Amino acid sequence: MTFPILNRELGVLAFNERVLAQAEDPSIPLLERLRFVCITSSNLDEFSEIRMSGLQEQMREAIDGVTPDGMSLQHAYTVISERAQKLVARQYALFNDELLPALNAEGIVFYSESDWDEKQSAWAHEFFKTELLPVLTPIGLDPAHPFPKVLNKSLNFAVKLSGKDAFGREPELAIVQAPRALPRLVRMPDELSRHPYGFVLLSSFMQCFVGELFPGLSIGGCYQFRVTRNSDLFVDEDEVTDLRLALQGELPTRQLGNAVRLEVAEDTPASLVLRLLKQNGLQQADCYRVNGSVNLVRLMPLPDLVDRPDLKFAPHTPVLPKSFFTGSSVFDVIDQGDVLLHHPYESFQPVLELLQQAAIDPDVLAIKQTIYRTGNESALMLALMQAAKNGKEVTVVLELMARFDEETNIGWAAKLEAVGAHVVYGVFGYKTHAKMLLIVRRKRHAKHTKLKRYVHLGTGNYHSRTARLYTDFGLMTSDDKMCEDVHNVFQQLTGFGKQVPLKRLWQSPFTLHANILKAIEKEVDAVKAGRQGYIIAKMNALLEPTVIAALYGASQAGVRIQLIIRGVCALHAGVPGLSENITVRSVIGRFLEHHRVFYFYADGDEHVILSSADWMDRNLFRRIETAFPILDSKLKRRVIEESLLIHLQDNASAWDMKPDGTYKKVTPGDAEPMISQIDLLARF
């Protein structure tokens, strides 16, 4: 590597430090601060399951290997582990020292067993006996009961014992795994709680009453722990004949993969920690001692259980574009011109209505759609099933390898096939990440009819819940060339054939990467010819080395480059002689910034491209992705203003990268604070 790049894993941790900073911000409503703590915990779970497990695999295969940024694998693992440990410590300190007292002050209280009065203890004991005890299975450790391989991210308790049982055995240790079906957060009855909202954690019930699982024995301690495991799935392309069956066989192994991380309660004895580490093949660096619950993710439901609007973000109802108030069908609206939807400021409902109307419209003949993530409950999937029942030719390209959604998608595949839809899984070895919906409809004229295509293309998933939480663009169009391109991509996904040149779309793994490089080079050529060169790109991550090299080269040539990258960025910004013309900004707010927008000045033509793809190796070379232009000048201006310029003007929720790769929070100083997402909420 002849140019510097930043470490990916450290970049992911830096992003999560920015997320945790939201929880540390006293200007954010209290329950939303708690939610950001939970989001950080969830992100760190996935970081361990995927990124840290990947590093461990690399070290097993090549102990003397190096990371792309030039560190030895062992040194990188040490540095990354230490950074992660500091982040976790910071998270628990915030939770214990600031958020818990603030929640208490608002009447939202977590009762531990030491806080219970006589009536509360009686209620807790009864709850334990009737709701918990019947489903708990203690595993006593002896030669006949080896140490159990606990499930990935499950809550477990190591119980120290003494005494002699009915068989004359003298046990020392037992393990109790809390079944996933058990609630981790239990609300105390109002008549018993001295506060408006009283809650008890599952761990508190266990700490107090675990002895009832071991009658007649003495309890020397009950310590919660949690093991995170490698969750990457492996399917051998040479061996697979049915991807769905292969995945169904692999999914159970995710719960029992190699251990990656051990989380233990702070008071766990050192000897027990060593035993747990040894049992799971882990080192001291992989152990995280925490002051509190070993799984803060389980507190995520709390804000929804507390009816305190004053402690949450003001509710936002996504608006409908004016064109959808005319009473016309969605097809008629699209016939009048392209429609741009900006979620979550604008509603996802028009997308759903497009599909629901297509399902019952006698003139609709065929529907084709890609699905990456859509959720366990989906009105959109029900509409596809209804369309198939109504005799439409329905084809769904369902991505079975969508990480952590594999089981959900397998379920949908079975339901779709049951009603007669064609279900395919794309191209093996290439995840189908493109967001496309194609509808073929008979268009009736006075004396004849002809077939017309309608298309929806998006930067985000067909998922109504995340459409309320993630910022994304969706485009509805009947542009002939755009529709023909989408048709050709679907032909690739369901059949066989040589690559067909596309007129409007850029597509991975064929043209997207090359076209990005060409667009960057055109800006360089413009500067060399004495004209303006300007690039703005917004995405979730920037990691692909040749694109980074091209951006460095463009900066050195004098092209002005502004990058808005929410997550990990391997490019160094603002380095003299290398990237002094490049800025990198990360915006963290109420909504997750998710859309990918590429702007090239193009000698004043201002090319605006929307995409499902980040500038990462996987998106550009190992996935099927699309990038599509915004052709309508008014819609183009909207995209520029609503997703690019407004975030560059943000002076209160943005973080700017410094030349050493660290980030600094932008502050308004003497200016009026402007938070881009709040401003957009006001506009809509």
pLDDT tens-digit map of 257-289: 889 999 999 999 999 999 999 999 999 999 999
Q: What pLDDT, on the 0 to 100 scale, is given for residue 63?
A: 74
Q: Reduced to 3 states, what is the DSSP secondary structure of residue 564?
A: strand
Query: Residue 445 is encoded by which pair of tokens?
Result: 């004229």
Residues comprising the binding site? 43, 373, 403, 470, 566, 594
> pLDDT, tens digit, for every residue of 147-181?
888 889 999 999 999 999 888 888 899 999 998 88
Kindly state the percentage of the chain with pLDDT values over 90.
77
Whether the predicted pLDDT of 343 surpasses 70? yes
Which DSSP category does 310 fall into?
G
Mean pLDDT on 391-413: 81
Q: What is the rounded CA–CA span in Å between residue 260 and residue 282?
A: 7
Question: Range with the lowest mean pLDDT among 229-238, 419-428, 528-537, 545-554?
Answer: 229-238
Residues comprising the binding site for Mg(2+)? 373, 403
Q: What is the rounded CA–CA span in Å between residue 229 and residue 257?
A: 5
Residue 245's H or E segment, with its range, is helix 243-250
Whether the predicted pLDDT of 350 surpasses 70? yes
User: Quick check: pTM over 0.85?
Assistant: yes
Q: What is the rounded CA–CA span in Å between residue 175 and residue 159?
A: 6
All domains of the chain in start order, with CATH: 8-311 (3.30.1840.10), 322-504 (3.30.870.10), 507-683 (3.30.870.10)
Whether the predicted pLDDT of 244 surpasses 70? no
> pLDDT, tens digit, for every residue of 433-460?
999 999 999 988 777 889 999 999 999 9
Q: What pLDDT, on the 0 to 100 scale, is given for residue 544?
A: 97
Whether the predicted pLDDT of 533 surpasses 90? yes
Of residues 561, 583, 643, 658, the one with CA closest to residue 610: 643
- CA distances (Å), 485 to each of 414, 431, 479, 609, in order? 29, 19, 10, 15
Query: Residue 200 is encoded by which pair of tokens?
Result: 């008890």
For the chain, how many residues are written?
A: 684
How many CB atoms sit inside 10 A of residue 176's CB?
20
For the chain, the average pLDDT equals: 92
Residue with tokens 């929880």: 23
Which DSSP category does 97 fall into?
I
Of residues 605, 604, 597, 600, the one with CA closest to residue 642: 597
Q: Across the chain, which distance is largest between two alpha carbons, in Å?
A: 94
Residues comprising the binding site for ATP? 43, 470, 566, 594
Mean pLDDT on 104-110: 96
Q: Is 433 a catalytic residue?
A: yes
Q: 83 — phi, psi (to 5°)?
A: -65, -40
DSSP 159-185: EEEES--TTS----EEEEEPPTTS-SE
Mean pLDDT on 544-567: 97
CA angle 538, 615, 238 (to 5 degrees): 145
CB-based burial, 536-568: b 16+ in 10 Å, e otherwise = bbbbbbbbbeebbbbbbebbebebbbbbbbbbb
Kindly state the percentage of the chain with pLDDT values over 70.
95
Q: Reduced to 3 states, what is the DSSP secondary structure of residue 85?
A: helix
Query: Residue 153 is encoded by which pair of tokens?
Result: 């991210």
Whether the predicted pLDDT of 252 surpasses 70? no
Q: What pLDDT, on the 0 to 100 scale, is given for residue 246?
A: 46
Catalytic residue among 342, 343, 433, 463: 433
> pLDDT, tens digit, for every residue of 607-652?
999 999 999 999 999 999 999 999 999 999 999 999 999 999 999 9
Whether the predicted pLDDT of 194 surpasses 60? yes
Q: What is the rounded CA–CA span in Å between residue 338 and residue 350?
A: 13
More confident residue, 446 or 28: 28
